[in-house]
Structure 1
Amino acid sequence: MLTLHAAELLLPGDREPVPGGAVLVDGDRIAAIGRYEDVAAAHPAARVRRWPGVLTPGLLNRHGAALLEHTYFPDDTFEADELGTEPLTGAALAALAPGEARRGNSARRCTQKLLAHGVVAVTARLTTPAVRTAVRRAGLEVLPGSEPTGPAALDPLADALPRDAFRGTLAAGGPARFAVFAVRDEVALAEEGAGGCVATVIGGRLLHRRA
């Protein structure tokens, strides 16, 4: 089924922004991109999803290993009394000494948080099988490469809006991999960060939608 994702502003990543833009998805690929009126007229049978804000390529988080393997995200329902709700790193993580199954569960919670920040890919060298499984099931792409130093943030836009925060561009024939943020434009996205993500699509599938 063709699905047309329309937003107030479309940022393809390699060309000028498109006010009232839309991305047409066919399976796991982008079938067309352009002004909503034009794409919708050419494909009247497409299901339409309308989103507030800005539609962009999905984001790349370069702190993958630090977040997924060297941070423990407590289960808010069952572990908050024992561990609190903040992520554990360093000495606190060493003291917890989670086994592989617990690390896998933490990675699963982490992937949901990454998707909620518009992340579609991470840079990481993952060594724990349960973590690799959690990432694969979440649909996140894992890319090789060194990780930056400094604190690891879930939001790739925490410091600025670097062009390399986006995973590729949006174009017909390319992968259906993008995110939508409830902001007015690119400047607001830089200022407010990725916490305003309302939808994340990977492989044409809607993997995160803000309730």
Structure 2
Amino acid sequence: MLTLHVAAATGDAVLVEGARIAALGPYGELAAAHPAARVRRWPGVLTPGLLNPHGPELLERTYHPDPREAGELGTEPITDPAVLASPGMTDARRGAGARRGAQRLLAHGTVAVAGELRVRAVADAVRRAGLETVPRPGGPADTRPSLDPFAPGCGPAVWMPDLRTGGPARFAVFDVRDAAELPERGAAACVATVLGGRLVHRRA
């Protein structure tokens, strides 16, 4: 099935067929050429998606609690080494936390993370979520890990390569007037994330 994603702020559109990008261009032209395509209209701008450089820090060295654990652990991500090393923090539990962390990353327009994931349950959870993992040259940058790459102290945001016809259908949409507004609004302005042609995040 063909799906046409269009960003309202610019009129740019991406035609997706399966897991690949079938065409790029103005919405009017693509809609006229593919009248049977399902159309998804989004506010804002459509981008290649973000690469978060802190995969291990956010997914292995952080635990994202389940809402059912709020009474015990609260709701905020946990980085306390004592909690992470406690007997109850099994690999299966860490994998479940990484799955929730991956969903939070997707909700910030992240489509890939950098760094080696050494805990198999965590790596499996990230793979199942569809996030790509890429090598991180050298050690981690001297920046503060955050789900939002635009947060203070995180360094310059890193984007994945530009979208291209025939390339992977992997992108994000942010509810901003243009990309220049993103540093002020932050990645929480993400309204949709697509990986492998699938809509893996949609803001309610």
TM-score > 0.5 by shorter chain: yes
2:105 is aligned, of 102, 106, 114, to 114
Q: In the TM superposition, what are the counterparts of 1:65-80 in structure 2 within 5 Å?
A: 65-76=56-67, 78-80=68-70
1:205 matched residue in structure 2: 198
CA distance in 1: counterparts of 2:155 and 2:165, whole angstroms: 24
| Structure 1 contact 71–93 (Cα < 8 Å) conserved | no
Q: Partner amino acid for 1:27?
A: G
> For residues 94 and 40 of structure 1, do their structure 2 counterparts lie closer, same or farther at Cα, with a shift above 3 Å needed?
closer
1:184 is aligned, of 168, 172, 177, to 177
SS at 2:128 equivalent? helix
2:188 matched residue in structure 1: 195
Identity %, equivalent residues: 62
User: Aligned residue pairs: how many?
Assistant: 200
CA distance in 2: counterparts of 1:209 and 1:61, whole angstroms: 19
Question: Unmatched 5+ residue regions in structure 1?
Answer: 10-18
Alignment RMSD (CA, Å): 1.6
Q: CA offsets per residue over residues 164-195 of structure 1, 9 Å max, x none?
A: 61111111111110001111111211211110
1:15 matched residue in structure 2: none
CA distance in 1: counterparts of 2:99 and 2:117, whole angstroms: 14
SS at 2:28 equivalent? helix
CA distance in 1: counterparts of 2:120 and 2:170, whole angstroms: 25
CA distance in 2: counterparts of 1:72 and 1:33, whole angstroms: 38
| Structure 1 contact 61–165 (Cα < 8 Å) conserved | yes
2:133 matched residue in structure 1: 142
With structure 2 as the length reference, what TM-score do the two structures score? 0.92
| Structure 2 contact 15–21 (Cα < 8 Å) conserved | yes
Greater mean deviation of Cα atoms: 164-173 or 112-121: 164-173
CA distance in 2: counterparts of 1:131 and 1:116, whole angstroms: 18
| Structure 2 contact 148–186 (Cα < 8 Å) conserved | yes
